[in-house]
Amino acid sequence: MSFLSSLLSIEKSFHHGVHPEGLKEATVDLPIQRVPFVSRYVMPLGQHIGVPAKAVVQAGDAVKRGQLIAEAGAFLSTCLHSPVTGKVVNVGPHRYTDGSFQPAIEIEADPYATQRLDPQPAKDWAALSIDEFIAEVQRAGIVGLGGAAFPAHVKYSIPETLKIDEILINGAECEPYLTNDHRLMVERPEAMLRGTEILMAKLGASHATIGVEDNKPDAIEILRKRIGNNGAISVVSLPMKYPQGAEKMLIRAVYGREVPAGQLPRDLGITVNNVGTVVAIADWFDHGMPLIERVVTVSGPGAAYPANLIVPLGTPLRDVLKFCGGLKVGTREVIMGGPMMGAPAASLDVPVLKGCSGILAFTDAETRLGQEYACIRCGRCLEACPYFLNPSRLARLGKARRFEEMRDQYQVMDCVECGACTYACPSNIPIVQHIRTAKDNLRRRV
């Protein structure tokens, strides 16, 4: 049986999960626009998973768009580049998404600069060793753009005992409201396929699969047309389900294989990359453009004019929302990311980060907390959890602050905090919030 035939013969889904409304109608057909440059940008040094970057500039330094402003602080870290031509006005604490103050580089844009990126020759990626390729991806500042912001180069550092056979491109975009990946697949399929081919060649993979939920038929059609007779790349249409974008769930849906607890996709010979990540790889190797901007969906009932936007990193939320007509009267909360896994912004002055896939504005109707009732032991959270955990028990242990028991006996650290349990709970118990509190407490104790 051929590889493609095997893909078509399995059930393209995963166990458990939920089915929230898509709510993508407001932006699904809106082409990507570019946000005008603003006066000030803030680049936090820790806007990725891992060790924060180290600033290599200081107040008063002139910088150009795309110039390195912070180097990687360790292997599990990545670089930062200036999103604009201008002057560094401060290197110090600035308000972060959660309200805390974290080190950041603040840049004042030059109002007379064109803000065009200086043209760069294409890099001869084929001549690079795998270690040199990994270093280039780290130098480009590329992270997973699906929301986790995990440094991409770390995924490509494969132990000698393992081999990558399959590249899986995550085009599921299962979070409600978000359409930024959808628009990239529709508008930049060549760059997406180019980045995929680069990864295949450097990692030695024989095949790549693009998993796309079936609520994006135009993206599926465009990609299949661009791929043509290239048998090394396939597009698989997946039924809508949340959290299909989680890499272990996507692997189960596409290949019918389970990633065991404690293992990574690479242990199965697979590496998973978001649509935006592979586009960023193509932009770096073909045009010398580091990760200094990303596509963001602005939507939600509180957004005056929803849009899909190219936003320079470091742009304050306030300026992005101003470009979209501001917030409607009655808006109560702004979420960075999707409604299921995103984080509420502590202030509209916090900047757009590498992992910010959406800016969603919600009114009182969406944010009002319902009356919480006692657990009725219905089991819906168990049926929803794609990791086969016991969310209701974890919530009860979290309330009792029995965090070590949650870790040692009930595998709380395997939870990806997708929120499916909270969504499914008829008693309005904030299950995932109890789990997040426990995990944060356990991490601080290490």
Which pLDDT does position 119 carry in this prediction?
80
- Contact between 268 and 248 under an 8 Å Cβ cutoff? The reply is no
pLDDT band at 443 (very low <50, low <70, confident <90, very high): confident
CA distance 136 to 149: 17
**pLDDT tens digits, 431-440:** 999 999 999 9
pLDDT at 173: 96
> Averaged over 209-213, what is the pLDDT?
97
At 445, the pLDDT band (50, 70, 90 cuts) reads confident
**260 or 24, higher pLDDT:** 24
Average pLDDT score over residue span 171-191? 97
Residue 155 has pLDDT above 90, yes or no: yes
What are the phi and psi torsion angles at 364 (to 5°)?
Answer: -60, -35
Average pLDDT over residues 15-41: 96
- CA distances to 397, 398, 416 from 439, rounded to whole Å, are 12, 9, 10
Over range 220-229, report the average pLDDT.
95
| Ordered structural domains, the chain, with CATH | 10-29+142-287 (3.40.50.11540), 380-445 (no CATH)
More confidently predicted of 63 and 5: 63
CB 333, CB 362: distance < 8 Å: yes
Is the pLDDT score of 123 beyond 90?
A: yes
The pLDDT mean for the chain works out to: 93
- pLDDT, average across residues 55-79: 97
Placement of tokens 């990126």 in the chain: 117
| Contact yes or no for 325/304 (Cβ under 8 A) | yes
Average pLDDT over residues 287-299: 97
- pLDDT band with cut points at 50, 70 and 90 for residue 262: confident
Distant-in-sequence, close-in-space partners of 350: CB < 8 Å, separation ≥ 6: 42, 95, 96, 97, 316, 317, 336
For residues 309-316, average pLDDT: 98
- 12 pLDDT above the threshold of 90: no
pLDDT at 1: 40
**Is the pLDDT assigned to residue 85 strictly greater than 80?**
yes
User: What backbone torsions phi and psi does residue 194 show, to the nearest 5 degrees?
Assistant: -65, -45
Q: Please report the pLDDT score of residue 5 as a whole number.
A: 44
pLDDT confidence bin for 11, thresholds 50/70/90:
low
